[in-house]
Amino acid sequence: MRRALASSRLALGAGRRTRGRWGDSSRPWTRRASSFGETPPDDLRRLGRPERDFFRFDVIHESKRSRARVGEIRTPHGVVRTPGFVSVGTNAALKAVHHETLDAAGLDLMFANTYHLMLQPGAETVEALGGVHEMMGRRRPTITDSGGFQVFSLGTPERRSEAKELKSRNPTKHRRENLLLEVSEEGAMFRSYRDGTKMTLTPESSVAAQKAIGADIIIPLDELPPYDIDDNALRESVARSHRWMTRSLRAHLSDVRQQAMYGVVHGGVDRDLRRASVEYLSALPFDGMAIGGSLGRDSTELGSLLEFLMPLMPKDMPNHLLGISDVENVDRAVMLGVDTFDSAYTTQVARHGTLFTHSRGRINFRRAEFRRSREPACHECDCTLCSKHSLGYLHHLDRANEPLAWTLASEHNLFYMGQKMARVRERILNDEI
Amino acid sequence: MRRALASSRLALGAGRRTRGRWGDSSRPWTRRASSFGETPPDDLRRLGRPERDFFRFDVIHESKRSRARVGEIRTPHGVVRTPGFVSVGTNAALKAVHHETLDAAGLDLMFANTYHLMLQPGAETVEALGGVHEMMGRRRPTITDSGGFQVFSLGTPERRSEAKELKSRNPTKHRRENLLLEVSEEGAMFRSYRDGTKMTLTPESSVAAQKAIGADIIIPLDELPPYDIDDNALRESVARSHRWMTRSLRAHLSDVRQQAMYGVVHGGVDRDLRRASVEYLSALPFDGMAIGGSLGRDSTELGSLLEFLMPLMPKDMPNHLLGISDVENVDRAVMLGVDTFDSAYTTQVARHGTLFTHSRGRINFRRAEFRRSREPACHECDCTLCSKHSLGYLHHLDRANEPLAWTLASEHNLFYMGQKMARVRERILNDEI
| Cis check: omega of the bond before A121, within 30 degrees of 0 | yes
B94 in reach of chain A (CB within 8 A): yes
Query: Which DSSP letter does residue A308 get?
Result: H
CA distances, A147 to each of A113, A287, A355, B39, B132 (Å): 6, 19, 30, 74, 47
Radius of gyration, CA atoms only, chain B: 21
Residue B427 to residue B433: CA distance in whole angstroms: 6
Residue spans of chain A under pLDDT 70: 1-37, 155-177
Query: What is the phi/psi pair of residue B360, to 5°?
Result: -120, 10
Radius of gyration, CA atoms only, chain A: 21
Bridge partners (DSSP) listed for residue B79: B74
Amino acid letter, residue B399: R
Question: Which superfamily does CATH assign the domain made up of B2-24+38-351 to?
Answer: Queuine tRNA-ribosyltransferase-like (3.20.20.105)
pLDDT of residue A296: 84
Query: Is A145 part of the annotated catalytic residue set?
Result: yes
Residue A171 to residue A179: CA distance in whole angstroms: 13
Helix axes B327-335, B299-309, angle to 10 degrees: 20
Q: Is A236 helix (H, G, I), strand (E, B) or coil?
A: helix
Strand pairing of B110-112 and B84-88? parallel
Catalytic residue among A108, A145, A216, A270: A145
As a dihedral over the C-alpha atoms of residue B141, residue B147, residue B148, residue B150, rounded to 10 degrees, the angle is 110
Bridge partners (DSSP) listed for residue A74: A56, A79
- Give the catalytic positions of B in this structure: 145, 342
Residues of A in contact with B368 (CB under 8 A): none
pLDDT of residue A193: 77
Do the Cβ atoms of A110 and A102 come closer than 8 Å?
A: yes
- Beta-strand runs (E) in B233-389: 260-265, 288-291, 319-321, 340-342, 354-357, 361-364
Q: Which of A95, A396, A400 is the closest to B402 by Cβ? A: A95
Query: Cβ atoms within 10 A of the Cβ of A338, count?
Result: 27
**Residue of chain A whose Cα is closest to the Cα of B368:** A121
Do the Cβ atoms of A115 and A193 come closer than 8 Å?
A: no
Bridge partners (DSSP) listed for residue B90: none
The CATH classification number of A2-15+35-144+206-351 equals: 3.20.20.105
Domain range list for chain B: 2-24+38-351, 352-433
Residue B212 to residue B255: CA distance in whole angstroms: 11
For residue B397, give the nearest of A397, A138, A400 by alpha carbon.
A138
Residue A98 to residue A165: CA distance in whole angstroms: 18
A to B CB pairs, distance under 8 Å: 131
Per-residue pLDDT of chain B (433 residues; tens, 9 = 90+): 333 333 333 333 333 322 223 333 332 223 333 345 678 899 999 998 889 999 999 999 999 999 999 999 999 999 999 999 999 999 999 999 999 999 999 999 999 999 999 999 999 999 999 999 999 999 999 999 999 888 888 766 555 544 433 333 344 444 556 788 888 999 998 888 778 888 889 999 999 999 999 999 999 999 988 777 899 999 999 999 999 999 999 999 999 999 999 999 999 999 999 999 999 999 999 999 999 998 888 888 899 999 999 999 999 999 999 988 777 889 999 999 999 999 999 999 999 999 999 989 999 999 999 999 999 999 999 999 999 999 999 999 999 999 999 999 999 999 999 999 999 999 999 999 9
Q: What is the ipTM of this complex?
A: 0.89
Bridge partners (DSSP) listed for residue A288: A262
- Beta-strand runs (E) in B247-339: 260-265, 288-291, 319-321
Angle CA(A295)–CA(A299)–CA(A158) in degrees, nearest 5?
60
Distance to chain B for A23, nearest Cα, Å: 35
Handedness of CA A92, A93, A95, A101 (dihedral sign): positive
Asked if B129's CB is within 8 angstroms of A374's CB, the reply is: yes
Do the Cβ atoms of B162 and B6 come closer than 8 Å?
A: yes
Angle CA(A281)–CA(A328)–CA(A364) in degrees, nearest 5?
135
A371 in reach of chain B (CB within 8 A): yes
Query: Could you please report the per-residue DSSP string of A171-221?
Result: --GGGGS--EEEE-SS-EEEE-TTT--EEEE-HHHHHHHHHHHT-SEE---
- Beta-strand runs (E) in B142-259: 142-144, 180-183, 188-191, 198-201, 217-218
Asked if A97's CB is within 8 angstroms of B402's CB, the reply is: no
Residue B119 to residue B39: CA distance in whole angstroms: 35
Distance to chain A for B414, nearest Cα, Å: 16
A136 in reach of chain B (CB within 8 A): yes
CA distances, A73 to each of A108, A112, A323, A332, A420 (Å): 10, 18, 19, 21, 19
